[in-house]
Amino acid sequence: MTQAVLSPELLRQSIALARALAAAARNWGLYPPEHPSVGASVTRLSEAVRQSAAGATFTFGVTPNTLLVAGLPLPEDQPVADAARILHDHDILQLTFVGDVKVPAVQALLRLLITPAEELRAAGGPAKAWEASGEVCIGIEQIDYEKILEDRDDLERPLERRDDIWRSLVNQIVEGRKYFDAVQQQRLLEIAGSAFEIGELATAVSAPKCTVDGSPLITTQAATVLATFRHLAGIVTVMDPERLPEVMRNVAAATSSLDPHIVMEIMQTDEGLQETPILSSIAQSFDDEKVAGLLAMALSRDGKATARLARIFDTIAPDAERKQRVLKMTRTMLSEANFGRSGQFTAVWSSMEELLLSYDESPYVSAGYQASLEGAVGRSELFSTRDLPPELPEWVDSLGQDNVRSLSVQLIADLLHIEVKPDRAAEIASDMTALIDDLLMSGDFANSGIVLRELRAATAETVAPAAARAALSSIGESPALREAATMLSAFDEATLEKFVECCEHVGPISLRGLYPGLQAEHETPGYVRACDLVRRFGAASVPHVAPLADDHRWFVQRTAAQLLGSTRSPDAVPPLQALLRRQDPRVLREAVSALAGIDDPAAARAVQTALRAAAGAARAAVVEALVAEKDPRVVPMLTRILGESSPFGGDHQIVLDTLDAVRQLADERAVPAVTAIMRRKRLFARKKARAFKLASVKALLAIGTPRATAALDDAARTGDGLLKRIVRETRAS
């Protein structure tokens, strides 16, 4: 009969899910929920569940040592065993994921898995506790422990010893501390008397030494386990030295229950001058079958023999006869595995055998490389038993939230900079948007500037410029930027400079985030700073300031007119022209002043239209605005109005008001336009002619320059009779 096997894809997903579950449960128990490691592991577990369930269901059967998928055990793997142990210790017989499992459900599961088993049993078991959580996308079937306990002899049941003292011991060893109080020393002495307890302690202290995704750090785990063995030997040597041989036998026996990968790493450690030679005791406890099993596992994993493996083999089996015997057993074991049945096995076995028997590493590695590897595990184990280094507080600070955030910022900026695939660059730009939102909300404008600078640079590159521009636009209109801008008045100078830099990287669209500050009636510090920031963008700010002109409040319209006028851009004329139609003289005055500073025919026509349409107070406001600041840039507009207006028609009053403004400004550049108006004449319009000719003469007299005087002299000699009379009378008065 053909034995059922799992498909490679299902096997890969199952192992990945088991690893993610073990890592997430471990991190949830070690760190607070807001820690970055917890967030990363929860996200990874959620993604692993999504891929495994694929919108349907996925079930793990639980045994004390491994997990079952479709009734088949997963291959030997330490993280899988860790996940199985966690679930089994919490009396979970089967764990099922149904459909799309959300993050809150994953977090609830992790909270359940760090709850002491005694509490769950007191509450009726994990299934009842989970039912109380209300989450239905994860199903838990528990062990019927009440029935099991009915038939179990209490005297034969191992004592539950995972109490606070046990956990404190594990934490002390994991953190690399070597000093224990009296209670902890007594517990270590008790543990040393049982090979099973030693193995459990070694497994517990090595479990946290994994990456975020649950992959074991074998070298670090081996160093931690060896340090644990030495703690036990040291305690026994001091407190009960007569038991030392028994303890060493227990240590050796416990080693056989550990992950073979860890055992191999332990055995290559340079023991040096140790009072208690632990490695030699472990090596002596291995029989030929155990050594062959370890060797077969290593060869099958690596596909070849290495100098490190040869050294371990030489440590465990130093005599030639035993080496030959073990190698025969190893070849037999490998022939039953996939690696031994492959076509390349026969070809490479001879070279493996030669290296393992001769232990001459020089043909395979250079002397320098071997020297760099020499004693690496021993050094790491040595460091794990020393006092904490004085630099530790600084190292811990470097892992703080601020430093981790800065590192994340630099990494994502570098990723976008080096990315060459447009689709991937677009994804990174989208991730940057979310990151910048968080940074802006937290007030971290320095790191925001780094990410924004990279996004701005990406808009000029050819990889994904459209995605980068879209990301900047999204940031400019984001609630995060608007929220940050509300604090403008509270920023110190350094913070303000960083915020302004962020806005400049985002571009003019960032001005939309300043709307709340620009809508103030009075000139608060935040209002002044927001206006200054708008002026930095010049003409580019017009499309983003123009919406303020549609606000119904007069003071917001006034601000819009002031900011649009500061651009001196022809693009600002349409929104300013709309403001000219407002009835409030305060708004009208600011709009006219703004248009007067724009050297463009459209601006002049807009003011001319305003003068023509206004009457009474509104017309006075327009004229007042034209001359209020004595701005010489108004003169070209006034001369253009004079040139385009008819003094005898409907523009008669406009001409008079404009000539009055010219008189008040007294700028020589207006002389040609005034002279041209002054010499205009028409039959049967004597009253209007006298009015604008008199206003022209007064304007030239007010200008008073030689050029203006010459124009009056010429008018007195060659002008029409009415003009000559007005010049004489005006000069005489």
Domain final residue pick, 595, 629, 663: 629
> What are the structure tokens assigned to 80, written together?
């899988």
Distance CA 639, CA 643 (A): 6
Q: Looking at the domain assignment, is residue 515 inside a domain? A: yes
CA-wise closest residue to 304 among 242, 354, 256:
354
Do the strands 92-98 and 72-73 form a parallel or antiparallel pair, or are they unpaired?
unpaired
Question: At residue 84, does pLDDT exceed 50?
Answer: yes
| Per-residue pLDDT, 379 | 54
Distance CA 264, CA 707 (A): 104
Q: Are residues 521 and 584 in the same domain?
A: no
Listing DSSP states for 482-509 in one string gives HHHHTTGGG--HHHHHHHHHHHHHH-GG
CA-wise closest residue to 130 among 99, 107, 160:
107
Classify residue 231 as exposed, middle or buried by CB count within 10 Å of its CB (0-12, 13-18, 19+). buried
Q: Provide the H-helix boundaries in 507-538.
A: 515-518, 525-536
Express each pLDDT in 35-75 by its tens digit. Answer: 777 787 888 888 888 887 776 678 888 888 888 887 778 88
Q: Looking at the domain assignment, is residue 249 inside a domain? A: yes
Query: What is the amino acid identity at position 643?
Result: G
| Per-residue pLDDT, 161 | 55
Q: Looking at the domain assignment, is residue 1 inside a domain? A: no
Query: What is the amino acid identity at position 546?
Result: A
Express each pLDDT in 618-627 by its tens digit. Answer: 666 666 766 6
Residue with tokens 């110190």: 492
> What are the structure tokens assigned to 384, written together?
């794990």
Domain housing 555: 537-629
Q: Are residues 99 and 231 in the same domain?
A: no
Q: What share of the chain is helix, strand, coil (3-state, %, to 5)?
A: 70, 5, 25
| Per-residue pLDDT, 80 | 83
Question: At residue 704, does pLDDT exceed 80?
Answer: yes
Question: At residue 376, does pLDDT exceed 70?
Answer: no
Q: Are residues 480 and 577 in the same domain?
A: no
Of the spans 18-32, 268-282, 617-631, which averages the highest pLDDT? Answer: 18-32
> What are the structure tokens assigned to 558, written together?
């006034």
| Per-residue pLDDT, 110 | 87
Q: Looking at the domain assignment, is residue 254 inside a domain? A: yes
Question: At residue 364, does pLDDT exceed 50?
Answer: no
R_g of the chain, CA atoms, integer Å: 43
Query: CATH code at 601?
Result: 1.25.10.10
Distance CA 510, CA 492 (A): 20
Express each pLDDT in 311-350 by its tens digit. Answer: 665 556 666 666 667 677 766 766 655 554 454 445 445 5
> What are the structure tokens assigned to 324, written together?
């030959």
Distance CA 219, CA 380 (A): 8
pLDDT (mean) for 18-27? 83
| Per-residue pLDDT, 621 | 67
Q: Looking at the domain assignment, is residue 215 inside a domain? A: yes
Count: domains in the chain: 5
| Per-residue pLDDT, 486 | 83
pTM for the full model? 0.42
**Collapsed DSSP state (helix, strand, coil) of residue 203:** helix
Half-sphere exposure of 240 (CA within 13 A, CB side): 15
The dihedral through the CA atoms of 74, 80, 82, 86 has a sign that is negative
Q: What's the order of all strands across the beta sheet hosting 57-62?
A: 72-73, 67-69, 57-62, 92-98, 138-142
| Per-residue pLDDT, 83 | 85
Q: Are residues 422 and 377 in the same domain?
A: no
Q: Are residues 350 and 452 in the same domain?
A: no
Q: Are residues 138 and 124 in the same domain?
A: yes
**6 Cβ neighbours under 8 A, 6+ residues apart:** 14, 69, 70, 72
> What are the structure tokens assigned to 129, written together?
């506790």
Q: Looking at the domain assignment, is residue 114 inside a domain? A: yes
Contact between 438 and 478 under an 8 Å Cβ cutoff? The reply is no
Q: Are residues 593 and 450 in the same domain?
A: no
∠ Cα 393 397 401 (to 5°): 155
Contact between 405 and 444 under an 8 Å Cβ cutoff? The reply is yes
CA-wise closest residue to 521 among 485, 555, 546:
555
**62 Cβ neighbours under 8 A, 6+ residues apart:** 68, 84, 87, 88, 92, 93, 94, 95
Distance CA 667, CA 289 (A): 110
| Per-residue pLDDT, 556 | 87
Domain final residue pick, 533, 556, 583: 533
The dihedral through the CA atoms of 660, 664, 670, 675 has a sign that is positive
Express each pLDDT in 133-160 by its tens digit. Answer: 777 788 888 876 555 555 444 434 444 4
> What are the structure tokens assigned to 150, written together?
């009915």
pLDDT (mean) for 384-410? 65
| Per-residue pLDDT, 157 | 42
Q: Are residues 373 and 438 in the same domain?
A: no
Q: Looking at the domain assignment, is residue 158 inside a domain? A: no
Question: At residue 213, does pLDDT exceed 70?
Answer: no
Express each pLDDT in 424-471 by its tens digit. Answer: 888 888 888 888 888 887 788 888 888 888 888 888 876 788 888 888
Q: Looking at the domain assignment, is residue 155 inside a domain? A: no
DSSP label at residue 210:
B
Express each pLDDT in 102-145 by its tens digit. Answer: 888 888 888 888 888 888 888 888 888 888 877 778 888 887 65
Express each pLDDT in 477-532 by its tens digit. Answer: 888 888 888 888 888 888 889 899 989 988 888 888 888 888 888 888 888 888 99
Express each pLDDT in 639-685 by its tens digit. Answer: 877 887 888 887 788 788 888 888 888 888 888 988 888 888 887 78
Q: How confident is the model at residue 380 (pLDDT cuts 50, 70, 90)?
A: low
Q: Are residues 501 and 550 in the same domain?
A: no
Domain final residue pick, 533, 557, 581: 533
| Per-residue pLDDT, 345 | 46
| Per-residue pLDDT, 279 | 66
Q: Are residues 474 and 518 in the same domain?
A: yes
Q: Are residues 268 and 302 in the same domain?
A: yes
Express each pLDDT in 517-544 by its tens digit. Answer: 888 888 888 888 889 988 888 888 888 8
Phi, psi of 704 (to 5 degrees): 70, 10
Question: At residue 291, does pLDDT exceed 60?
Answer: yes
Q: Are residues 356 and 215 in the same domain?
A: yes
Half-sphere exposure of 114 (CA within 13 A, CB side): 19
